[in-house]
Amino acid sequence: MMNEQVKFFNALGDETRLLILSCLLTQEKCACDFASIANKDQTTTSRHLKILLEAGIVDFEKDGRNRIYKIKTEEMRERLLNCGIKKLEFCCKKQ
């Protein structure tokens, strides 16, 4: 139990990961979208997504060659909102 909490809070301890989560609270997103949203390269965003995945915060589904990321459960969504993470609408507009 303690290890899960440590992973959860460590995952929240980065600005890029918080931005990713704020976007995912609004809607599911392809991994390829996060590089432009976070203004980081694909390798960096992939590393951040892996940390969120290992912490049990997000999950993904494959859509062809793409990975579509989402908040893992509704319970996790509520937990993130209760931690003060805000939904970001701007990241959901077509670019």
Predicted TM-score of the model (pTM): 0.89
Domain boundaries, the chain: 2-92
Q: Let me know: does 91 contact 37? Beta carbons within 8 Å.
A: yes
Q: Let me know: does 31 contact 69? Beta carbons within 8 Å.
A: yes
Q: Let me know: does 80 contact 55? Beta carbons within 8 Å.
A: no
pLDDT in tens, 4-42: 999 999 999 999 999 999 999 999 999 989 988 888 999
As a whole number of angstroms, the distance between CA 68 and CA 92 comes to: 14
Query: Quick one: pLDDT at residue 92?
Result: 54
Instruction: Domain 2-92: state its class.
Output: mainly alpha
Query: Quick one: pLDDT at residue 6?
Result: 94
